[in-house]
Structure 1
């Protein structure tokens, strides 16, 4: 993908890109007062929900085109840019008509390639920046596919928004961060601007600061945070919105770290520790290679004795033991379960291949 770096079109310099504003544009007064307070606290890009399709009908679903007129009026009074969500070609046409500066595509739209293509076709010939939120479910290919469709339509001012992934589990977050998925996208496309949406990950304003700091520690390019002049009275997502004053406190508390340092002492110390990490990683690979040799031997033995590849009880025993090992070593249980599952899956594939080779010879 051909993507312009954020610094090429963002005028905030080396500072993180900050987009803030209400979940929904409710009234012109509410939007103007919120935007004014945010502007007074240093925010120069305001977000506002114009169309708010909900899971079920019968609730507030946004003001629509009238809100775009409010935005146009506010931009005449305040030196700010506006960012809004678009979900179809008509939204795109209206957003461009009213001079919206930045567009984003929501998680529900990202899951549908037909919707993304419709939006991409409507954007051809325009150079407005477009951000794409991750799909509802943890599907990196679907996220990349949406970005590729827009890029093929000529959108080079392209970025990604990490807003977390839906879950049926009862956890403290509204959406699971699953940071590794967003970081994998960043690894594949290092030039791709990546901003975090801690509001939708959290679902609770009390968690926004810690999530924002986590994003900064992972070298995200910015944040998009929901802010309302009176969150308690918000017509949507009241629990996760913060006042402009609270937002200022959150942003001022963030520690912005550099990806590199010019301090020779720090560089040398990091080099020594990284060298040790490389040594340990090599030991891990050597151990895994040795494990796979034994896996192959077991596979041959199962083949000769007509034993099935997968042993349910053995798997349960192994998983239980490794979970206990992780706990004894003060390692994250879920992390270790994921690692062992990958190792076990690889072992099953190898032994299955041994069985299939025997069948093909027969």
Structure 2
């Protein structure tokens, strides 16, 4: 269990009631674009303005941000609108430049958090600084790496710390730019319940039409806030145009959010407890069924060993996956959900059979 030393995120004079909202363009492109977007966001009540100054890009030649010349634009945003300003940092130089220009908060990006050396460089540069620092999850779904990045920043004395969930890269084709894999931030919250978690629906979705649903799911999971990309003219944005909202559309998304109670009173709890008991009973039944299934896998492993048959039978596997997926769909279950379950069961069955065959082999070798 991680032992982070944390204190609440503070922006003086701002009531950070849930959800905390951070908004602004993917990139600060020009002074006019930055200020125009900021004015519109300030008018609708946004208190924390984000804009990319240095942009890590996958391929050289893409727009990589305007660099330090954009920081005075953010300073003007702060002076004119009263909003707090935040930028992504990936090097010690970024940290020093941001501090010099009065940046109020920083975040460590997904590519940086995947590299412990880069995170440590940022952490060392932050020593002696007392501002909120947020850490995005690494591009790959590695919870330990994410926690390690948070620990490095915390170890530099940053106690106003939060995590940003921006989804995870995957080779599989999905509707998301970065698959949310909600179970990972949920596990982070279980391990470090006092750590605020901010969801980034822009980078999870990659398309503006997905932002509302992702934002609502984050609220349903009781996460603490949203960091959303907003541009006064998204169609002409220099980076990530398809995932940015106009301030007007952002307001519609935020106004439509349903904020549910994080806890429940005694009266409805009785009904909820009864439903949870049923879940517990069904889970126990599932475990009993899986236990029996693995006993059969052991018997199959012994038979295959005695008859010199390979463990993997591809045709049988394909038949099972199609049959079980069809049966799941006919029962109203999601096909992808069924596939994941039976892939896991098959993997465990293979492991079980392999252990049986290797045990028999070692037994013979020992004689």
- Report if TM-score (shorter chain) is over 0.5: yes
Between the aligned partners of 2:210 and 2:314, the Cα distance in structure 1 is: 40
Aligned residue number for residue 185 of structure 2:
182
Mean Cα deviation higher: 76-85 or 18-27: 76-85
Mean Cα deviation higher: 293-302 or 89-98: 293-302
CA distance 1:171–1:292, shift in 2 (3 Å): closer
Mean Cα deviation higher: 133-142 or 327-336: 133-142
Aligned residue number for residue 307 of structure 2:
305
Mean Cα deviation higher: 251-260 or 129-138: 129-138
Give yes or no for contact 2:201–2:228 (8 Å, CA) kept in 1.
yes
Give yes or no for contact 2:9–2:132 (8 Å, CA) kept in 1.
no
Aligned residue number for residue 271 of structure 2:
269
1:355 equivalent among 344, 354, 357: 357
What is the root-mean-square deviation of aligned Cα atoms in Å? 2.0
- TM-score w.r.t. the length of structure 2 is 0.92
CA distance 1:100–1:94, shift in 2 (3 Å): same
Shift of residue 170, structure 1, vs aligned partner: 4.1
Between the aligned partners of 2:308 and 2:155, the Cα distance in structure 1 is: 53
Mean Cα deviation higher: 133-142 or 227-236: 133-142
Shift of residue 254, structure 1, vs aligned partner: 0.2
Aligned residue number for residue 338 of structure 2:
336
Aligned residue number for residue 59 of structure 1:
62
1:46 equivalent among 34, 45, 49: 49
Aligned residue number for residue 253 of structure 1:
256
Structure 1 segment 13-162 matched on structure 2, within 5 A: 13-162=16-165
Aligned residue number for residue 324 of structure 2:
322
Between the aligned partners of 1:300 and 1:8, the Cα distance in structure 2 is: 59
Shift of residue 251, structure 1, vs aligned partner: 0.5
Aligned residue number for residue 294 of structure 2:
292
Structure 1 segment 185-264 matched on structure 2, within 5 A: 185-262=188-265, 264=266
Shift of residue 186, structure 1, vs aligned partner: 2.2
Between the aligned partners of 2:355 and 2:157, the Cα distance in structure 1 is: 44
Shift of residue 102, structure 1, vs aligned partner: 1.3
- State the secondary structure of the residue aligned to 1:9: coil
- State the secondary structure of the residue aligned to 1:99: coil
Q: Is there any run of 5+ residues in structure 2 with no aligned partner, and where?
A: none
Deviations 1:78-128 (A, max 9, x none): 221111101111101111222211111112222222212221222223232
| Matched residues, number | 361
Between the aligned partners of 2:175 and 2:299, the Cα distance in structure 1 is: 44
Between the aligned partners of 1:320 and 1:6, the Cα distance in structure 2 is: 51
Give yes or no for contact 2:4–2:151 (8 Å, CA) kept in 1.
no
CA distance 1:170–1:349, shift in 2 (3 Å): closer
Shift of residue 332, structure 1, vs aligned partner: 1.0
Mean Cα deviation higher: 175-184 or 244-253: 175-184
Deviations 1:190-243 (A, max 9, x none): 222111111112222222111111111111111000111222222222222112
Between the aligned partners of 2:296 and 2:172, the Cα distance in structure 1 is: 37
Mean Cα deviation higher: 83-92 or 130-139: 130-139
- State the secondary structure of the residue aligned to 2:37: helix
Give yes or no for contact 1:3–1:191 (8 Å, CA) kept in 2.
no
